Amino acid sequence: MTDSIIESFPLTSMDVTDLQQQKLKALFPEVFTEGGKIDFDKLRSTLGENVDAGKERFGLNWAGKSNCFQTIKQSSVATLVPERDESVDFDTTENLYIEGDNLEVLKLLQKSYLGKVKMIYIDPPYNTGSDFIYPDNYAENLNTYLEYTGQVDGEGRAISTNKDTDGRFHSKWLNMMYPRLFLAKNLLREDGVVVIQIDDNEQANLKRLCDEIFGEENFISCVSVKMSHLSGMKMSHVSKKIPKIKEFLFFYGKNKDNVILNKVLVPCSWDDAFDRYSRVIDDPKLPVQDWTFSTLNNYLKEIEEDKQEQWCIANAHRIIRTAVNDSFKDSPKDGVFRDVVTATGLKKISFNREEVLFASDKLSVVDKKTVPVTTIGDIWTDIGINNLHNEGDIEFDNGKKPIKLIHRIIKLVEGQTKDSIILDFFSGSSTTAHAVIQHNLEDGGNRKFIMVQLPEPCDKDSEAFKAGYKNIAEIGKERIRRVINKIKTEQTANEAKADLVDKLNESNAPLDLGFKVFKLQKSNFKVWDANVEKTAEAIQFALDEFVDHINPQAEQEAILFELLLKSGFELTTPIEKLTLSDKTVFSIADGALLICLEKELTHDLISEMAKRSPSRVICLDEGFQNNDQLKTNAVLMMKNHGVEVFRTV
């Protein structure tokens, strides 16, 4: 802070290019010149032979790729406006529903949610020929969105669907996906995971795209998921196509070395269980048929202590296999099982003619019957087909997003935490939000969701449109409300649910049954247009328009949240309304930031704010009423009380 000048508050989203340069400078400070530019000759010298200067290199290229980087670099001048009437428990909830173009929203979230999201799950358009819209002019993305939603008059900018007859069919899909995935990566924690659902149309291109953005070394898995049944197939039927019954899930880590995947168990058949567990560690030193309690106990002493449990669990199944006739007809040798329990410390191993309980981590209770289970692999056939979910008069088609699927993904990738942020920026009918709330209800977690959805119009022939829902965003919000209301009703009426609620309320993380709604709109402040025509008349007109730079229709809360977001605070950060010197001041995050939107500032008010020693203070510039002496005194007072950043807007 200088002694007499107050810096202006930046009204744009985070400069992604600057972020990338900061990362590079942290690794190679020597390649930056005095003016902060990059000396590529020094960079080449630093990297030595690892620089690929050739033109023929392996990679994914398409028409318009260079424009993707321009799109990423273009800062957003939009904002997110709170909608209390459409929210549930606005002041206390930590869940978010954002209505708007996800590219603009991702840009706006960069400052506040950089490196904070544990899991991103998206089910983007599959590029089947007409299933996604995009702005023809990416540089005018916000204006295109505002025109699309009827917030401004159209000026010839087109919104189109991607027809497969277009010569750049795949390129347009890649141009849509690349900047969104690039920005999404920044939001992930270092142990974060992105999961992308796709079908055959673009799965090959998506894999290469993710290899470039996330790094091929951070690829975790490609899972095949059975999503439909074969139907109507006759033996005599001739076709040029093999019926599609699967889709794909691509898993990538922000940094794969930091990702810990949880073990997820699923029921399996007895034949599969024996087949799987018979192919375990086989130590030739000790024949299976000779294993007894004493020999096993002696053998364990020769194994390193940290490897004993793994060896015991693996070889316990071999002991069980030897004790049971493959046909299940002979009586088992119960003594062998007791020996295994004693020697290995396994919690429970028992046998009857219908059930085999392996080890405690190899069991699953399904309908009160214990069945053998196995760890999931990369082919999932048990998710559920034609999974429709009804909430009142709306039928939510979860065919592409079964709740069970998202449950499994959350359990698999969330690691040891149950309080992470889960983002879905192609949220559709909000299946992900539904799954998060349900998951928290079942295990007492405190996961938070961020849903982002473009208000795409509903098909006029759809049941949702007939029920009065004009766009998909309306459906998504209504679904969350109904899920919340259903849970609240069950908590009151159902004793079992009530007991669960009591248990959750006793924990440190009570169940969050709410969500804040925000909508993408133009900034509440006029931002100087650097592209204004370079004539005296045009510049003077722009200056006159810029004098009163606050939208007169902007509500105070909308301005507050814009400053909050662009200051780098989460949209769910606690806000306290204070009264200082008979004026209103908002305290953010227990006083870390003070925001004053009063249009008449006084010496006493500024003094009261400074005495609280916040890290940052933001005031309206017009609040000084052109009083330069008050401005100078304000700077000095803030500096004397240790305020690090004092800015006006």
Number of domains composing the chain? 3
Report pLDDT digits (tens) over 137-162.
544 567 777 777 777 655 544 455 55
Burial string for 500-524 (b: 16+ CB within 10 Å, else e) reads bbeebeeeeeebbbbbbbbbbbbbb
> Residues 596, 585: contact at Cβ < 8 Å?
yes
Percent of the chain with pLDDT over 90: 42
Domain boundary, last residue among 346, 375, 404: 375
Tokens of 340: 């295994």
Both 636 and 587 in one domain: the answer is yes
> Residues 199, 189: contact at Cβ < 8 Å?
no
Both 512 and 537 in one domain: the answer is no
Is a pLDDT exceeding 60 seen at residue 243?
yes
Domain boundary, last residue among 345, 375, 405: 375
Furthest CA-CA distance within the chain? 100
Q: CATH number of the domain at 386, please.
A: 3.40.50.150
Structural domain includes residue 33:
no
The whole-angstrom separation of Cα 259 and Cα 190 is 8
- In this prediction, residue 333 carries a pLDDT of 40
Is a pLDDT exceeding 50 seen at residue 619?
yes
Structural domain includes residue 600:
yes
- In the predicted model, what is the mean pLDDT of residues 548-558? 80
Handedness of CA 435, 439, 440, 441 (dihedral sign): positive
- In this prediction, residue 489 carries a pLDDT of 87
- 3 state DSSP class of 596: strand
Both 202 and 274 in one domain: the answer is no
Both 554 and 634 in one domain: the answer is yes
Structural domain includes residue 47:
no
Structural domain includes residue 11:
no
Q: What is the DSSP letter of 567?
A: T
Both 335 and 370 in one domain: the answer is yes
Structural domain includes residue 54:
no
Report pLDDT digits (tens) over 310-364.
665 556 545 444 443 333 333 344 444 444 444 444 433 333 323 333 333 343 4
Is a pLDDT exceeding 90 seen at residue 177?
yes
> Residues 81, 554: contact at Cβ < 8 Å?
no
Distances in Å between the alpha carbon of 136 and those of 142, 151, 580? 12, 18, 50
Neighbours of 313 (CB within 10 A): 20
Report pLDDT digits (tens) over 390-447.
554 455 554 467 899 999 999 999 988 889 999 999 999 999 999 999 999 988 999 9
* Strand 575-580 relative to strand 583-588, pairing: antiparallel
Is a pLDDT exceeding 90 seen at residue 94?
yes
Structural domain includes residue 490:
yes
Structural domain includes residue 44:
no
Range of the domain at 549: 530-648
For tokens 């919340």, name the residue. Answer: 484
For tokens 């008449």, name the residue. Answer: 600
Distance of CA 613 to the CA centre of its chain: 35
- In this prediction, residue 210 carries a pLDDT of 96
The whole-angstrom separation of Cα 484 and Cα 471 is 21
Both 538 and 470 in one domain: the answer is no
Distances in Å between the alpha carbon of 435 and those of 253, 402, 410, 428? 21, 9, 9, 13
Q: What DSSP string runs through 526-550? A: ----TTS-SSHHHHHHHHHHHHS-B
Both 359 and 464 in one domain: the answer is no
Amino acid letter, 109: L
Amino acid letter, 296: L
Domain boundary, last residue among 494, 519, 544: 519
| Helix (H) / strand (E) containing 571 | none
Both 119 and 215 in one domain: the answer is yes
- In this prediction, residue 263 carries a pLDDT of 83
- Which bin fits 248, alpha (ψ -120 to 50), beta or left (φ > 0)? beta
Query: What is the residue-averaged pLDDT of the chain?
Result: 78
- In this prediction, residue 171 carries a pLDDT of 85
- In the predicted model, what is the mean pLDDT of residues 290-313? 60
Distance of CA 539 to the CA centre of its chain: 43
In the sheet with 616-619, reading across from the earlier edge strand, the strands are 7-8, 645-648, 616-619, 593-596, 583-588, 575-580
- In this prediction, residue 499 carries a pLDDT of 57
> Residues 193, 252: contact at Cβ < 8 Å?
yes
- 3 state DSSP class of 176: helix
Q: 241 Cβ partners below 8 Å, 6+ apart?
A: none
Tokens of 398: 């979860």
The whole-angstrom separation of Cα 215 and Cα 50 is 16
Both 93 and 220 in one domain: the answer is yes
Amino acid letter, 578: L
> How many Cα atoms sit within 13 Å of 320 on the Cβ side?
27
- In the predicted model, what is the mean pLDDT of residues 639-643? 94
pLDDT bracket for residue 186 (50, 70, 90)? very high
Task: Check residues 403 and 231 and name the one with the higher pLDDT.
Answer: 403
- In this prediction, residue 363 carries a pLDDT of 38
The whole-angstrom separation of Cα 634 and Cα 285 is 82
Report pLDDT digits (tens) over 457-498.
888 887 778 888 889 999 999 999 999 999 998 887 765 555
Which residue, among 289, 134, 259, 104, has the nearest Cα to 194 in the 3D structure?
A: 259
Both 285 and 301 in one domain: the answer is yes
For residue 81, the cross-strand partners are 519
Which residue, among 146, 125, 138, 222, has the nearest Cα to 175 in the 3D structure?
A: 138
Both 283 and 349 in one domain: the answer is yes
Structural domain includes residue 323:
yes
- 3 state DSSP class of 286: coil
Both 551 and 484 in one domain: the answer is no
- In this prediction, residue 531 carries a pLDDT of 59
